[in-house]
Structure formats: C-alpha cells, structure tokens
Structure 1
Amino acid sequence: MYSDDDLNAAVNAGIFSQEAVHDFRSLVEQRQHTALADEEHFRLLSGFNDIFVVIACTLLLGSVAWLGSLLAPAAGAAAVAAGAWGLAEYFVRRRRMALPAIALLGAFVVACPVSILALLGQDNRPDELMVLAGGGSAALAAWLHWRRFRVPLTVAAGTGALLLTIIGLLFSAIPALRQYTAPMLLAGGMATFALAMFWDKQDPARLQRQSDVAFWLHLLAAPLMVHSFFDMLGILQGTASLPALIAVLGLYGLFAVVSLAIDRRALMVSALAYVLYAFSHLLQTAGLAADGFAVAGLLIGGGLLTLSAFWQHCRRALLPRLPARWLASLPPLQ
C-alpha cells in the first residue's frame, strides 16, 4: 500500500517522473469514474500489520503505565509519554505506519498533561493553573510531536487542546460565561474551520500532506459548529419547537451547500444525527408516529447516496453561482 506522499517522494528521488505520476493518477480516476480529490483520501491503515503493532503498543504502554504508577502517578504517565515518543521514532518516522502514528500521538498528547497534573496535584491549586497546565502542556506536546513526526492529525489535536485551554481559562476567570458555552464552542469551531480552509488552500489538488491536515481539522471543526448550532435551537434538550425543527433542516441544507463548495463532507456527517432526529419528529407530527425514524432514514440516506454519486455534477452547478472572489479559496472543479 502507498499514498500520494509516497508517490511524491518517488518523484523527488528521481524514481518516477512527474508526468508518469500524473498519468497514473489520471488512469486511476478513469477506472474509478471519479476525481481523486473528490475521494478525500486519508491514511488510516497501510495493512493489517498496523493493527498488530497498535495492539502490541497498547499492551506495552499499558504495562509501562502500571509499573511506573507503582512509584508515583506522575512517573507512570511520564513513562508512557517517553515510551510513545520512542516507539514513534521507529514506527512513525522510519516505518511511516498510519494507524500506529495516530495511536502513539494520542498516547503522547494525553500522557504529557496527565503527568504534569499529577505532579501539581489538586490540593489548594487554583483552577486557572490546572487548566493552563493541562491544556497548555497538551498543546505544547502536540506542537513538539508535529515538529518531529509530521502526523497530519497532530495539528487538529493541538488546536483542540488550545481551544479547551482558552475556554477553560475563561470559565475559571469569569464563571458567568458558563451559560454561553454553546456560542463559545461555535466561535472555536468557526476558528478551526478557518484554519482548515487555510491548510486546504495550500493543496487544492488534495495530493500533499496539507490536505490530510485540513481533513482532520474539518473533522474537529464540524462537530463543534454543528453541536453548538443545534444546542442553541434546543434540539439537545428535546424542547425544540416546530419552527426550530424546520430550521434544523434548513441548516442542513446550508451545510450541504458549504460542503459542496469546499469539497468536504465533514459538516454533513456531523449534522446527520441531528437532522435525522428533526426530520423523524416532523414526520411523527404528521401522523407517522411509529415509522417516522425509518422513513426519515430512508429519505435522507437515499438523498445522501444520490448526492455522493453526483457530487462533482452538483459542484459544477454550484460554483459558477458563487461570488468570483470566493472561488480563489475553493478547490477547483474536477
């Protein structure tokens, strides 16, 4: 198994010419009847050995954490962080294995703040210090990991840690802000979405590492924005009115338009559970009390499959209708 990064490395090493790689990609697009950029490729598994290595790493790091915690809780977490970094030197930096890269990144980014917080303890420590120590150390760990290993998920992990740190510090400093959790998460999601678009703009053809980074950032931004929107509409509390339920469907239509424009599907996937609930509730009010959810799933599932089959056709119909100044920031038509 190989990725676009491997093909680009082969070009840089002089093994293949750029024209040969371009012709190969064109052939794959013709065989699959779709543009490669349309597929939103990202590496998760390069083979079953990835799963084998992750299981072995989990057993090893779990044992290290157990033995280290016999000395002190902080020692166990620090040992996991050191072990995850050491394993990444071989399995990520040298072997470039996809799933172990994600697992070892998670172990390192979680173990670092756990060790810091265990060292600080919780007795007579201000909340602001604990939030700053935990979130800040997680963000710093993600930054260090990115500098060394360049795992695409790392940027999203660091961004999420930074957002949690900022929101946690604001809550600690101004407790009254807790009632504005949804708008703050929405603001964080929109900032993450803007960052994802920044990375996407660097690789509109979806062939380089920047596109993988943008993929994970979109995957982080989407639930932050979607959850906040629907929380403010009262969907999560089950108190939404009929106009709010209709607004949910309208928002999903807007998310579909945005997804088509940016050629990403994360927004639509994140909002799917909410729109299923809203649509089934609307059908129940129309008299389909028992079968509302099934009918909603049938209609929405069929619609999504149709949209997937004609994704680029829909983009061709949508993009010419957008302002010209927006098109420079959007992926080109395939």
Structure 2
Amino acid sequence: MYSESDLEGAVAAGVMPLTTADAFRQHVATTRSTPAVDEESFRLLTGFNDIFVGIAIALLLAALAQLGDWVDHALAGAAVAAAAWTLAEYFTRRRHMALPSIILLLAFVGGVAATMIGALVDLDPDWSDRTNALVGSGIALVTVGATWLHWKRFMVPITVAVGAAALVAMAMGIFFAITHASEQAIYPLVLIGGLATFALAMWWDGTDLRRQTRRSDVAFWLHLAAAPMIAHPVFHLLGVFEGDIGVAQAVIVMALYVVFAIIALAIDRRALLVSSLAYVLYALSTLFHQAGAVELSMAFTALVIGSALLSLSAFWQPMRRSVIGMLGGLGDRLPPVQLAHAA
C-alpha cells in the first residue's frame, strides 16, 4: 500500500516524473469511482512491521520511564524524551516508518512535558492557583518549542496538530492566571481553541486542495485535533450527559449533527462526524427510550445512525456536489468535486 507521501517522495527523489504520479492517482481514482481527495488518505501504517516496531518501542520507552522514575520523577520524562529522539533518527529519518514515527513524536513531546512536571512533583511547591496556571502555561510553551524542534528535524505530519494542542493549553493557562475564572470557563476556551485549530487545518488544506502532498496529512491531523475541541464543548454546553435530556435537547443535538455533516461534506473531512457520534447516539437513544422502546433503544439507534452513515458514505460525492454548488465562489477554495459522468 502506497500513500500520497510515498508518491511525493518518489517524485522528489526522481524515481518517477510528476506526470506519472498524477496518472497513477487518476487511475486509482477511476478504479475506485471516487476522486483521490474524497479518500481522505493519511499515512498510519507502511506494513505490519510498523506494528511490530511500535510495540517494541512502547515496551522500551515504558521500561525507561519506570526505571527513571525509580531514580527521580523528572528523570523518567527526560529518559523517554531522549530515547524517543534517538530512535526517531533511525525509524523516522532513515526508515520513514509511519506508526513508529507517530509513537516516537508523542513520546518525545510527552517526555519533555513529563520532565518539567516531574521536577515540580519533587519540589512539591505550595503555589496559588494563579501561579499554578502560569507554570502550566510555561510547561505548555516549552512543549510547543520542543514540538517545533521535532518538526524541523523530522517533519512528522501529526507534529503540527500536537503543537497546536499545546498552544491551546498554553493560552488557557494564561487566561486562568489573569482572570481567575471558574472551571466552567474551560469549555468556551476549548471551543475557541478548537475553532482556531480548525482554521489552521483549513489553511493547510488550502495549500494542497488536491491532497497530493504531505501538507494534506498535516491538515488531516489538525482536523482530527480540532474536532473534539469543537464538538465536546458545544454538546457539554447543551447539557448532554448531565442526566436525562429532554426531547428538545435531543432534537437540537440531531440538528447540530446535520450541520456538522454539511460542514464535513463541504471541506471533505469526516473528523467532525466521528467526534460528534457519541453525543448523537446518546441523544437518539434517549428519544427512542422516551418513545417507549426501552429495551431496544440502543438497537434502533445503531440501526438508524449506522444506516445514515453508510448512506452518507455511499452518496458522498453527489451530496458534496450539492453542498459545494450552494456555496458559490467559496467552493473554489475547497477540495475539488468529481463531476458527474456517464458510466
């Protein structure tokens, strides 16, 4: 299985000309009866060896963390970060292995943050909430810097999304340090951070509308990071999961999911639909439960939602054409739509 990143690398290395790569993409799109952009491809596995190496890396890093923690809390994170960077020099830069690269990036960033947190645990300072918020934002800032260094060295697509999440955490820490706001303010802040991450994802998508380069992979991970930051605060503010919801709330949840579906069709990304799925399942199950289908509410819910999602997948292209057609000139800034053609 070859990803867009592999094709891009082959063109850059002179293995094949750009025209050949484009012809291959067109051939795949034709055989699948779907444009390449609609596949929303991203590189996660280059083979089963990725899983094998990923398991080995996880075991090694877990052992280093435990051994380091036995000596000092901060040493655990530092050992993991150092090992992750060292291993990435081989498995990421030389072998270009997808899953191990993702694991090593997360381990490195997590190790950097854990080093600072471990040092604070050893100090056990008695600080005020404001100081704790400022220190937390400082940890997030250092984590952002570490993420940037990792990106400059290895350019793993998920790195930008991790950095964006760390920036959101830093901004939230600064906000709480300045305003002394209550914990409930976290949800609007996460929503704002999610919208900012979504905007960044759209910018990356806009630089590669046909999704033929690594930039599309970066945008994919940014959309994946932004989706839960948008969906969870919105549905939390509606009171979902805070006890039994009423019919009106359930209807609003379903309506929001339709809005998310329209957005997903327009931008040709499915992350919002996946992140919102749990809330929709809960809302629809509540409707069936209140209608009297107590024992079969989950079965009916799964049947309706499963059928709807399969239909959406099957008719994704014509539905996209309809949505893009309603956007006018804005549609030119979105991934292209396959034109209807005779069989």
Paired residue total: 333
Question: Which is bigger in relative contact order (C-alpha 8 A, separation at least 6)?
Answer: 2
Structure 1 residue 26 displacement after superposition: 1.5
- The letter of the residue matching 1:49 is N
Q: 2:98 aligns to what?
A: 98
SS in structure 2 opposite 1:60? helix
Say which SS state the counterpart of residue 62 (structure 1) adopts.
helix
Matched, 1:159 2:164: yes
Within the candidate set 243, 249, 255, 2:260 is matched to: 255
Once the two structures are superposed, the pairs formed by residues 190-201 of structure 1 within 5 Å of their partners are 190-201=195-206
Give the CA deviation at 1:260: 0.3
Deviates more, 1:139-148 or 1:167-176: 167-176
Secondary structure at the residue paired with 1:43? coil
Question: Relative to structure 2, which stretch is displaced further, 2-11 or 289-298?
Answer: 2-11
| 1:270 is the counterpart of 2:275 | yes
Runs of 4+ more than 6 Å apart: none
Match for residue 134 of structure 1 among 128, 135, 139? 139
Match of 2:246 in 1: 241
Q: 2 CA distance for matches of 1:196 and 1:122?
A: 39
In the alignment, the residues of structure 1 paired with residue 287 and residue 67 of structure 2 have an alpha-carbon distance, to the nearest angstrom, of 55
User: C-alpha distance in 2, partners of 1:323/1:79?
Assistant: 54
Correspondence for 1:77: 77
- Change in Cα spacing, 1:138 to 1:183, as seen in structure 2 (3 Å) is same
Does the Cα contact within 8 Å between 1:281 and 1:292 map onto a contact in 2?
yes
CA distance in 2, matches of 1:90, 1:298: 47
What do residues 235-269 of structure 1 show as CA deviations (whole Å, max 9, x unaligned)?
Answer: 12125332111111110110010000000111111
Q: Tell me whether 314-323 or 201-210 shows the greater mean CA deviation.
A: 314-323
Instruction: Give the distance between the partners of 2:225 and 2:159, measured in 1 at CA.
Output: 12
- Backbone CA RMSD of aligned residues: 1.6
TM-score, structure 1 normalization: 0.95
Q: Which residue of 2 aligns with 1:331?
A: 335
> Sequence identity, in percent?
48
TM-score (norm 2): 0.92
- Once the two structures are TM-superposed, the CA of residue 86 in structure 1 deviates from its matched residue by 0.5
Task: Work out the CA distance in 2 between the residues paired with 1:122 and 1:141.
Answer: 25
Structure-1 residue corresponding to 2:341? none
**Does structure 2 conserve the Cα–Cα contact (< 8 Å) formed by 1:117 and 1:130?**
no
Letter in 1 for 2:238: L
Whichever residue aligns with residue 72 of structure 2, its letter is A
**Distance (whole Å) between structure 1 residues aligned to residue 93 and residue 290 of structure 2:** 56
Amino acid at match of 1:329: R
Question: Are residues 1:318 and 2:323 paired?
Answer: yes
Is the partner of 2:16 in helix, strand or coil?
Answer: coil
Aligned residue runs from structure 1 range 196-211, under 5 A: 196-211=201-216
Deviations 1:31-52 (A, max 9, x none): 2222221111111111111111
Higher mean alpha-carbon deviation, 275-284 vs 115-124, is at 115-124
Query: Which 5+ residue runs of structure 1 have no aligned equivalent?
Result: none
**Which AA in structure 2 matches 1:122?**
D
Q: Give SS of 1:176's match.
A: coil
Counterpart of 1:231 in structure 2 is: 236
Q: Where does the alignment leave 5 or more consecutive residues of structure 2 unmatched?
A: 339-343
Q: Distance in 2 between matches of 1:124 and 1:286?
A: 54
